[in-house]
Amino acid sequence: MAFETVIGLEVHVELGTKTKIFCNCANEFGAAPNTRVCPVCLGSPGVLPVLNAEALALGIRAALALNCEVRASSKFDRKNYFYPDSPKAYQISQYDEPIGERGYVEIVVGGGVKRIGVTRVHLEEDAGKLNHSPLGDYSLVDLNRVGVPLIEIVSEPDIRTPEEARLYMEEVRSILRYCNVSDCRMEEGSLRCDANISLRPAGQRAFGTKTEIKNMNSFRNVQRGLEYEQRRQAEALAAGGEIRQQTLRWDEASERTILMRSKEDAHDYRYFPEPDLARVELSAEYIAARRAEIPELPADKRERFVRQYGLPAYDASVLTASRALAEYFDAVAALVRDAKSASNWIMGDLLAHLKVTGQEIEQVNMTPQQLAQLIGLIDDGTISTRIAKTVLRDVLEQGKDPRVLIEEQGLAQISDEAALRAIAQRVIEANPKSVEDYRAGKEKALGALVGQMMKETKGKANPQMVNRMIADMIAGD
C-alpha cells in the first residue's frame, strides 16, 4: 500500500538581542553557569517582567519576513508546567493571540517552487538547561538561558517529505539570518526543531496518527530523523499495525527514535493571560517601520541573480546562501564584464579558500574590488587564468592589489608580438619532429609546440596568441 507522508515543523529561534526578553540580564551563549541570572530569571516572588523593545521588534520583523499578518493587539500568557528548567513553574508565551499568523515560506524542490504555510509566529521565553549526572541520580540546573527571547514558528502540515522539511528549515534560517533576527546556530541551540509526522493511505484526506520527534539538532538530523520515522511508521502500517501518538527523541548515536512519553501523559498547560505584562498594542506606523527593515530576501535575490546577471539557478542558490556572500557577489558583478566569471571565481577558488581556512566571507582578506580587478586583468589578456589562480591565492594571503602583485612578480602575460615570435622561432627549430608531425596532419603536435612555448615563458605567454602564431609560422615556412 502506498502512503503519503505529512509533516509539520515547530521551529524555535533565539533572538539576537543584547538582553533577555523580560529582564536586563545579558543574552549570551556560553557564559559560566548561573552568571546571567537575576530575581526575574529565578522566579523570585514579587518580581515584575518588562518586555524588551528589541525582542518585540525582532519578533515582528521575523513574522513579516515570513509573510505573516501581524496582530495589532496581542498578549502574553502563562503556560504552566512543572520541571526544574523553569523556576517559575510556567513559561511566558503567547497562546491565542500570537504576534503573527497565516504566513508562508517558499522552498525550491524538484525544480519548482513549493509554498509551505506558516500557521503562526509567537514570542516566548527560553527555559534553563539541565545537565544530567552520569549515573542519572541527580541533575544540575543552569538558568542562564531562562528568559532568552524566542520566537516559535509553527508550519502548516504542508510538508510531504523529509527532504522538504530540511529545505524548509534551511530557508527559514536563511531568511532570519538575512534579517539579522538571529544567528540561527543549530549547534549552539539558537535554532531548534521539533517535527510532527504521520502517514496516510495515498488519496485519503484525513490525517493519520502522528508522532512528534524532538532533539533533531542539525539539518542533516532533521532529515534523517524524519526518514527513520517515516520508514518505521510505513512498516508498522503495512504490517497491519497501528501508530500510537507519542513523543519521540532522535538519538543520533543509535540513529533511531526513542520513546519519551505517550499521549496518556500529554500535558494540560492551563494557559491563562499573563497579568504582569501589559498587552502589546502596535500602531500601523510601528509595523510599517519593521517591514522597512527587511532587506531583499534570499528568494528575491536568487530570482534577481538569474534575471539580472543571467546566472544558472544553481549559481544563484549557492551565492545567496548568506546575505554577506550575496552582497560580495553583487559588488564584484557590478565591476566586471561578465557576471558569470565573478560567480565562477567566488563559487570555485574563493569558497574553497573559506572552507580550508574556516573563515566567513566577512573575514576574507580580499575586497570585491580586488577580485573584480583580477577578473578584469584576465579579461584584457594581462594574465592567463592559470596565473590568476596563483595571484588570487597571494591576494588572499597578503591583501595586496592583484595589479601590484603581478607587477612585483613579473607575472604579466607576454603579448608582445616580436618577443613571442623570437621565442616561437627557437621552439620550432628545436622540435623538428613535432613540426613534421603537424605538417603531416597531426593536430596534436601543435599542442606539444605550444606547451614548449609556455614552458619557455613560464606560463606567461598569451596562449591564444601563441597558438595562432606557431600555426602561421609553420604554414609560412
Question: Which residue in 1, 53, 356, 418 binds another protein (CB under 8 A)?
Answer: 53
Find the helix or strand (DSSP H, E) in which 42 lies: helix 39-42
Query: Could you say whether residue 259 binds another protein (CB under 8 A)?
Result: no
Distances (CA, A) of 463 to 173, 321, 378, 449: 46, 36, 12, 11
**Around Cβ 357, how many Cβ atoms within 10 Å?**
12
The DSSP bridge pattern shows strands 256-262 and 272-273 to be unpaired
CA 18 to mean position of chain CA atoms: 23
Query: Could you say whether residue 281 binds another protein (CB under 8 A)?
Result: yes
- In terms of CB distance, is 1 or 32 closer to another protein? 32
- Number of chain positions touching another protein (CB under 8 A): 51
DSSP 3-state of 200: strand
Query: Could you say whether residue 47 binds another protein (CB under 8 A)?
Result: no
Query: Could you say whether residue 277 binds another protein (CB under 8 A)?
Result: yes
Residue 348 carries which DSSP code? I
Residue 335 neighbours by CB under 8 Å, 6+ apart: 368, 369, 372, 373, 376
Side chain identity at 3, as an amino acid letter? F
- Minimal distance, residue 310 CB to another protein, in Å: 43
Question: Which residue in 157, 189, 273, 295 binds another protein (CB under 8 A)?
Answer: 273
- Minimal distance, residue 248 CB to another protein, in Å: 11
Measured distance CA(121)–CA(15) in Å, rounded: 13
**Around Cβ 238, how many Cβ atoms within 10 Å?**
11
Query: Could you say whether residue 56 binds another protein (CB under 8 A)?
Result: yes
Query: Could you say whether residue 130 binds another protein (CB under 8 A)?
Result: yes
Residues 63-82 that bind another protein (CB under 8 A): 73, 75, 81
- Minimal distance, residue 319 CB to another protein, in Å: 33
Question: Which residue in 8, 36, 411, 434 binds another protein (CB under 8 A)?
Answer: 36
SS (H, E, C) 100-130: EEEEEEEEEECCEEEEEEEEEEEEEECCCEE
Query: Could you say whether residue 249 binds another protein (CB under 8 A)?
Result: yes
- Minimal distance, residue 36 CB to another protein, in Å: 5
- In terms of CB distance, is 24 or 359 closer to another protein? 24
Question: Which residue in 280, 326, 377, 435 binds another protein (CB under 8 A)?
Answer: 280
| CB-count exposure of residue 363 (10 Å: 0-12, 13-18, 19+) | exposed
- Minimal distance, residue 193 CB to another protein, in Å: 16
Measured distance CA(154)–CA(472) in Å, rounded: 70
Query: Could you say whether residue 35 binds another protein (CB under 8 A)?
Result: yes
Question: Which residue in 3, 6, 10, 38 binds another protein (CB under 8 A)?
Answer: 38
Side chain identity at 53, as an amino acid letter? A
Fill in the per-residue mask, 134 to 163: x = in contact with another protein (CB under 8 A), - = not in contact.
--xxxxxxxx--------------------
Report yes or no: 80 and 270 within 8 Å, Cβ to Cβ: yes
- In terms of CB distance, is 160 or 214 closer to another protein? 214
Find the helix or strand (DSSP H, E) in which 388 lies: helix 385-398
Question: Which residue in 84, 310, 312, 348 binds another protein (CB under 8 A)?
Answer: 84
Distances (CA, A) of 254 to 218, 249, 262, 284: 16, 11, 21, 51
Query: Could you say whether residue 34 binds another protein (CB under 8 A)?
Result: yes
Q: Which triple of cell numbers denotes residue 216?
A: 533533531
- Minimal distance, residue 51 CB to another protein, in Å: 5
- Minimal distance, residue 35 CB to another protein, in Å: 6
- Minimal distance, residue 285 CB to another protein, in Å: 13
Residue 32 carries which DSSP code? P
Query: Could you say whether residue 12 binds another protein (CB under 8 A)?
Result: no
Query: Could you say whether residue 33 binds another protein (CB under 8 A)?
Result: yes
Binding site for another protein (CB under 8 A): 17-19, 24-26, 32-39, 41-42, 50-56, 73, 75, 81, 83-85, 130-133, 136-143, 249, 260, 273, 275, 277-282
